[in-house]
């Protein structure tokens, strides 16, 4: 699935849980099929992983790939290009927001909502695949 089918918008209010809005502009059915389980029900937060991989050295102006994958199969559901500053701001807002509970909301739309889940983990990797703990959002109780 092409990355240019996706548009990302992140809303970070000072006190509230940040929201990641992903708009899909690709062919009908393509993404909806990936975001449902065998019974046709939408995937929930326990079924997905969200990660960000930088393409260049760590810097607010660097670019990378935000990926959403199936936690059980490892298959990529979709990925899109975005800048590090967007991801770093998202992580900070999820950590620091008084009402965020260390989470962000992920909403994916294609003429209708396809996915709407609260996410408590976003792992950020450098250009060599090393985990950047201080830039990642890791829920309490998760051992890495």
Could you give the number of structural domains in the chain? 1
Per DSSP, 17 falls in state P
**Residue 120 included in any domain:** yes
**Residue 33 included in any domain:** no
**Residue 36 included in any domain:** no
**Residue 83 included in any domain:** yes
**Residue 34 included in any domain:** no
Return the number of other C-beta atoms located less than 10 Å from residue 80's C-beta: 18
**Residue 39 included in any domain:** no
pLDDT (tens, 9 = 90+) of the chain, 144 residues, equals 899 999 999 999 877 899 999 999 999 888 999 999 989 999 999 999 999 999 999 998 999 999 999 999 999 999 999 999 999 999 999 999 877 789 999 999 998 999 999 999 999 999 999 999 999 999 766 666
Nearest to 90 by CA among 100, 76, 80, 77: 100
- Tell me which residue range forms the domain holding 7: 3-28+47-135
**Residue 40 included in any domain:** no
- Residue 77: partners with Cβ closer than 8 Å, 6 or more residues away: 31, 34, 35, 43, 48, 68, 69, 70
Cα–Cα distance measured from residue 91 to residue 144, given in angstroms and rounded to the nearest whole number = 17
């Amino acid at each position: 699935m092409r990355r240019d089918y996706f548009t990302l918008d992140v809303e970070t209010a000072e006190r509230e849980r940040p929201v990641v809005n992903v708009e899909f502009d690709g062919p009908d059915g393509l993404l909806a099929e990936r975001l449902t389980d065998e019974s046709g029900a939408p995937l929930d937060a326990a079924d997905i992983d969200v990660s960000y991989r930088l393409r260049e050295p760590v810097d607010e102006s660097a670019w990378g790939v935000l990926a959403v994958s199936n936690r059980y199969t490892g298959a990529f559901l979709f990925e899109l290009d975005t800048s590090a500053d967007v991801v770093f701001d998202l992580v900070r807002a999820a950590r620091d927001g008084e009402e965020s509970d260390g989470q962000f909301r992920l909403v994916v739309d294609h003429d209708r909502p396809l996915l709407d889940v609260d996410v408590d983990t976003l792992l950020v990797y450098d250009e060599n695949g090393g985990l950047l703990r201080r830039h990642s959002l890791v829920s309490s109780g998760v051992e890495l």
